[in-house]
């Protein structure tokens, strides 16, 4: 059974780093957007909005999304059913 590396494109190809900074400074509760999978913010990796989900479910790290899609063997959002542009590449023999 071959293993694959998942690569996902955001629906609009736009990172949310500027939105994250704006929301962090404007939020009355100082709630910062975080990844819906790992619950981390954007300090280590930028957050994407890759599907039609909004609010706290609308942001995700690309690496978290790719890992989730790879392990779940699916190509769509389990919540809004948006189909991701997924490219499956054979995993290199040596990393």
**Is the CB of residue 91 less than 8 Å from the CB of residue 4?**
yes
**Is the CB of residue 18 less than 8 Å from the CB of residue 48?**
no
The answer, yes or no, to whether residue 28 has pLDDT greater than 90, is no
Q: Where are the domains of the chain?
A: 4-90
DSSP H helical segments within 1-95, as ranges? 17-26, 62-72
Q: What percent of the chain has pLDDT over 70?
A: 65
* Cα–Cα–Cα angle for 26, 33, 76, rounded to 5 degrees: 140
What pLDDT, on a 0 to 100 scale, did the predictor assign at position 23? Answer: 44
Mean pLDDT of 75-84: 91
The answer, yes or no, to whether residue 29 has pLDDT greater than 50, is no
Q: How far apart are CA 16 and CA 22, in angstroms?
A: 10
The answer, yes or no, to whether residue 19 has pLDDT greater than 70, is no
Q: Is the pTM of this model over 0.85?
A: no
- DSSP-based three-state secondary structure for 85: strand
In CATH, what is the architecture of 4-90? Answer: 2-Layer Sandwich (3.30)
């Amino acid at each position: 059974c071959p293993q694959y590396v998942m690569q996902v494109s955001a629906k609009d190809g736009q990172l949310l780093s500027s939105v994250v900074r704006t929301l962090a400074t404007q939020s009355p509760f100082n709630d910062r957007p975080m990844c819906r999978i790992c619950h981390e913010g954007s300090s280590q990796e930028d957050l994407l909005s890759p599907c039609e989900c909004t609010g706290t479910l609308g942001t995700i790290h690309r690496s978290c999304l790719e890992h989730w899609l790879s392990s779940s063997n699916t190509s769509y959002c389990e919540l809004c059913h948006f189909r991701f542009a997924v490219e499956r590449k054979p995993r290199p023999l040596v990393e």
